[in-house]
Amino acid sequence: MVSYESEREAIGNEYGVIVPFLVSVYKGETIIEAYDGAEEQVTRILSHCNGSYFSKPSIDYIDSLLEPYVNSLGYYRETAGKYKWYEVYGAESLSQLDLTNVNDLTCFLSKEHLSLVNLTEFDLSELLSLPYPASVVIDNEKIVSLSCVNPCENTQKVLELTVATSPECRRRGYGLSATLMLAERLINDGYFVNYVCSRYNRASLKLAKKCNFAKMGRIYAYTAYAD
C-alpha cells in the first residue's frame, strides 16, 4: 500500500528535516509513505525493487532517485548511516514476556517521584500529563532508568515503547526491567506494544530479545536535512 502526503506541507518545518520516502514491513504487510511530489520516483522504486527495500542495492537505487529530488527542495542527504534501518519487535500477549527480569527497584512513575533526582533525559511532569503510564527504576533515591510510550494518537492500539538509562547505571538490567513492567501493564490494558531499534544498536537489540519480544518487521526512512 502506498499513501502520499503533501510535499508543500512537509517542507519548511521547524526541525529542518524531511522524510520524503518511508517503507515499513509490519507482520508481512508493506506500507510506503511518500510526498506527492515524488510520485514518479516512487513508481520507479516499486518497479525496480520488487518488494525488496532493505538490501544495499535497493537503498542505493532509492538514493539515486531521491537525492536529486530532495536537493531541488533545498535539502541534502547525509551519507553517514545510509544503510541504517530499524528492526521492529513487539508483544501481543503476556505469555510472550519474560517477566522474571523485572526487579524490585522498578515501579510506575507517580507525582511522589518528582522530588527525586532524575538521571534520565525525560521530563517527568510531561510524562505524568500523558494518558499512558511510565515505569521507572529507582536506585539510591535517584531515577536511573525510565520506559514510556512514544508520542502517538490516543486512538492507537499498538504503542511504541522507548527506554533510557543513565550511562553509569547501564548493564545492570534496569532498562530491561522498566521496559518489561510497562509492557505488562499496557498489554493488560488491552494494547499491543512495539519496540523499534536501529539494526546497529546492539544494546537495544539485546534488550528486545531479553524481553522475549517477537520480530515484527522493519522500517526504512529516507531522511534529508535543510541545506
- Per-residue pLDDT tens digits for 124-135: 999 999 999 999
Please indicate, yes or no, whether residues 114 and 205 belong to a single structural domain of this protein. Answer: yes
pLDDT of 83 reads 84
Please indicate, yes or no, whether residues 116 and 148 belong to a single structural domain of this protein. Answer: yes
For the segment 85-111, what is each residue's pLDDT rounded down to a tens digit? 899 999 999 999 999 999 999 999 999
Please indicate, yes or no, whether residues 33 and 120 belong to a single structural domain of this protein. Answer: no
Please indicate, yes or no, whether residues 109 and 164 belong to a single structural domain of this protein. Answer: yes
Burial 52-67 (b: 16+ CB within 10 A, else e): ebeeeebbebbbebbb
Strands 29-35 and 75-76: unpaired
Note whether residue 167 is domain-resident: yes
pLDDT of 92 reads 93
Note whether residue 31 is domain-resident: yes
Please indicate, yes or no, whether residues 104 and 194 belong to a single structural domain of this protein. Answer: yes
Please indicate, yes or no, whether residues 104 and 189 belong to a single structural domain of this protein. Answer: yes
Note whether residue 32 is domain-resident: yes
Average pLDDT, the chain: 92
Note whether residue 92 is domain-resident: no
Note whether residue 181 is domain-resident: yes
Range of the domain at 134: 98-211
pLDDT of 13 reads 76
Note whether residue 93 is domain-resident: no
Query: Looking up cell 517542507, which residue turns up?
Result: 11
Please indicate, yes or no, whether residues 53 and 110 belong to a single structural domain of this protein. Answer: no
Please indicate, yes or no, whether residues 127 and 29 belong to a single structural domain of this protein. Answer: no
**Contact residues for 31 (Cβ-Cβ < 8 A; gap 6+):** 1, 2, 3, 23, 24, 25
Note whether residue 78 is domain-resident: yes
Strands (E), 99-139: 106-108, 117-118, 135-139
CATH number, domain of 206, equals 3.40.630.30
Note whether residue 188 is domain-resident: yes
Q: How much helix, strand and coil, in percent to the nearest 5, is found in the chain?
A: 35, 35, 30
Question: Can you list the residues of the chain whose pLDDT is less than 50?
Answer: none
* Number of domains the chain is built from: 2
Q: Kindly write down the DSSP assignment for every residue of 148-216, as one continuous string.
A: EEPS--TT-SEEEEEEEE-GGG-SSSHHHHHHHHHHHHHHHTT-EEEEEEETT-HHHHHHHHHHTPEEE
Please indicate, yes or no, whether residues 79 and 113 belong to a single structural domain of this protein. Answer: no
Please indicate, yes or no, whether residues 112 and 195 belong to a single structural domain of this protein. Answer: yes
Please indicate, yes or no, whether residues 121 and 189 belong to a single structural domain of this protein. Answer: yes
**Contact residues for 4 (Cβ-Cβ < 8 A; gap 6+):** 33, 34, 35, 36, 39
Please indicate, yes or no, whether residues 70 and 161 belong to a single structural domain of this protein. Answer: no
